[in-house]
Structure 1
């Protein structure tokens, strides 16, 4: 991968995508694209993703880009507790808002419709274990 020193023409679009809270996939794709551009604005944005992103894969991609640029940045650490403050309360509220005989699918669908940011962050964090993890969470509420 050739590293360029100017901003990409679509920098503003990439910046918006890198900060889009409802899609960790869009944030990851933007970070991966920006990792080819060693520019002050890109470096600042990547530092922000390492520190503030809720999804470890996005943090890790930003970290790798920064280290490839020669930046001294601490390695991100996977969070062990809530990714999003108050997420446990969100899960409880969504479950309580549904009829008593609702299914897990009903719960997952409503969570995705009403709190896509929470759904997306945990999907990104859990990867292919997301649905079993969410079902276990639903059963314990």
Structure 2
């Protein structure tokens, strides 16, 4: 089988890649799945890539899906980077977590509880903010209202 032929058939691990592409708790897994699925030009992989391009909370994943779809010759528009809350109700969740901790808790305690309680939310913002994530989260934590 030639390389060209293999690119028009589903990969053997398609179901695992599809599951990874939809894993809300890991933008890295979604990005890796998009990169791998982007090697296979099939209706099923195009469907998964289109969904990630249109619906992922992390812009890097959206952009990677867009690039793969364009490389297949798909007529798609580059996704716009979201502004504000990536996940609806995120700020309320941050406030609830802060209020659930002792009054004099540390930033590290807040960060750990957020990661444990809402890994999907933590992961989305980490993927979106990149190297600026820690500074952004600490600033957000400092600005949250207290009881």
TM-score (norm 1): 0.98
The Cα of 1:121 is off from its aligned counterpart by 0.1
**How far has the Cα of 1:63 moved from its partner?**
0.1
CA radius of gyration, larger in: 2
Q: What is the CA–CA distance in structure 2 between the aligned matches of 1:49 and 1:82, rounded to whole Å? A: 18
Cα deviation code 1:99-130 (max 9, x no counterpart): 00000000000000000000000000000100
After superposing on structure 2, the runs of 4+ consecutive aligned residues of structure 1 that deviate more than 3 Å are none
Provide the residue aligned with 1:44 in structure 2. 47
Residue in structure 2 matching 1:103, options 78, 102, 106:
106
Deviations 1:71-115 (CA, angstroms, capped at 9, x unpaired): 011101111111000000010000000000000000000000000
1:123 aligned to which of 103, 122, 126: 126
In 2, the alpha carbon distance for the partners of 1:124 and 1:81 equals 15
CA distance in 1, matches of 2:25, 2:77: 26
Point out where structure 2 has 5 or more consecutive residues left out of the alignment. Answer: none
2:116 maps to which residue?
A: 113
Match of 1:34 in 2: 37
Q: CA RMSD, aligned part only?
A: 0.8
Q: TM-score, normalised by structure 2?
A: 0.94
Residue 18 in 1 paired to residue 21 in 2? yes
> Structure 1, unaligned stretches of length 5 or more?
none
Separation in structure 2 between the aligned mates of residue 93 and residue 51 of structure 1, nearest angstrom: 29
1:4-30 deviation per Cα after TM superposition (whole angstroms, max 9, x unaligned) = 100000000000000000000000000
2:90 pairs with 1:75 = no
Map of 2:68 onto structure 1: 65
1:7 to 6, 10, 15: 10
Counterpart for residue 94 of structure 1: 97
